[in-house]
Structure 1
Amino acid sequence: MSRRFVIEAVMVAIYGELMAMSTPVEYLVPYSTIRELYEFQESTEPLLNDPDDDHHVKHKINELIAYLEEPLNRKKLDRALQVHWSKSPSIILNDSVRWTIINAYDNEQYGEFLDPIETEMILIAQRESVPILTDQPELISRIIEAEAPVQVFDIQDFDFALEDNTFSPK
């Protein structure tokens, strides 16, 4: 049985260790973060301060986009886009990691505290009873301030998150 987490697509490009898992993991990815990958791809602004790291991450983003645009994966993505809150069939990234894309455009519930993508992540976490995985301490603080009923882990605590049994996998 795999552990499930809500995560932004770009986090997988930035943190390569999220793809090198010894246990099965399913990442629930808001579709809006897939669209962000294309924005990052086209942007001339650096994502990371170190030029070598930035180049590496942009290369990984290009690889992810190319993989998602393969016909079978594109078909899975298109299926998720047909209805609000629908999920794509699993997109297998490797032997232990798969993605499920969720069409969750919604930003009203936490609109004053959080940006639309953050709100989508919280709503997916609530709906699917899974924790959020992020590298943004500010997001963790805003989730606490908004009193959102979700569990959130910093990427630095990912090993602990894999062992945590607070949420049971579906």
Structure 2
Amino acid sequence: MSKTFIIEAVMLAVHGQLMLPAKPVTYVIPYTTIQELYELQTSTVPIMMDEEDDGFVKTLITELIQFFEEPFNKKKIEKALTMPWGKSPPLPINDNVTLCIVNSIDNEAYGELFDPIETELIMAGIREKAVLLTDQLDFIDRVINGGVPVETVDVEDFDFILDDDLQV
């Protein structure tokens, strides 16, 4: 059975191991984070500290954009965008990774503590009853300290969460 995680699209490029999990996973991605990929692709600001790593990540971002723009995938995504909180049909990446795009809405419920993208991630986590996967430790701290009812996990702990003994 596939485990579901809420994640930003760029995390899939920055953390390549997420695309090769040992067990089936479904990543629910807010559409606004896909839009961010276009900004990151053309930005002159480095994403990674190391120049070689930065070039590699930008290549992966381009590949993700191409994947989302493939006619069949684009059609599925557009279907999700027809209504608030619409969710695309599954977009399989490989045997163990499936993506679902959600037309998340920032309802400002957590606007004082979180930016709009973070709020959308939180709301998606709550709606999907899924773990929010991030590499931003300060975000995890703010979720915990703010008493937000969503489980957040550091990307570095991803393999541990996939362990059968742990419930997510």
TM-score when normalising by structure 1: 0.95
Q: Secondary structure at the match of 1:93?
A: strand
Deviations 1:51-74 (A, max 9, x none): 000000000000000111000000
Where does residue 113 of structure 1 map in the other structure?
Answer: 113
CA distance in 1, matches of 2:90, 2:37: 19
Regions of 4+ moved over 3 Å: none
Is residue 41–residue 62 contact of structure 1 (8 Å, CA) maintained in 2? yes
Correspondence for 2:55: 55
Give the gaps of 5 or more residues in structure 1: none
Output the TM-score relative to the length of structure 2: 0.96
Alpha-carbon distance in structure 1 between the residues aligned to 2:31 and 2:100:
9
Q: How far did 1:107 drift?
A: 4.0
Q: Which position in structure 2 is the counterpart of 1:143?
A: 143
Deviation string, structure 1 residues 5-46 (Cα, Å, up to 9, x no partner)? 000000000111101122100001010100000110111111
Moved more, 155-164 or 31-40: 155-164
**Mapped partners of 1:83, 1:161: distance in 2:** 32
Contact 1:29 1:101 in 2 (8 A): yes
Separation in structure 2 between the aligned mates of residue 107 and residue 32 of structure 1, nearest angstrom? 14
2:72 aligned with 1:78: no
Residue of structure 1 in register with 2:152 after alignment: 152
Percent of paired sites with the same residue: 50
| Amino acid in the other structure paired with 1:36 | E
In 1, the alpha carbon distance for the partners of 2:37 and 2:94 equals: 19
Aligned length: 166
1:82 alignment partner AA: T
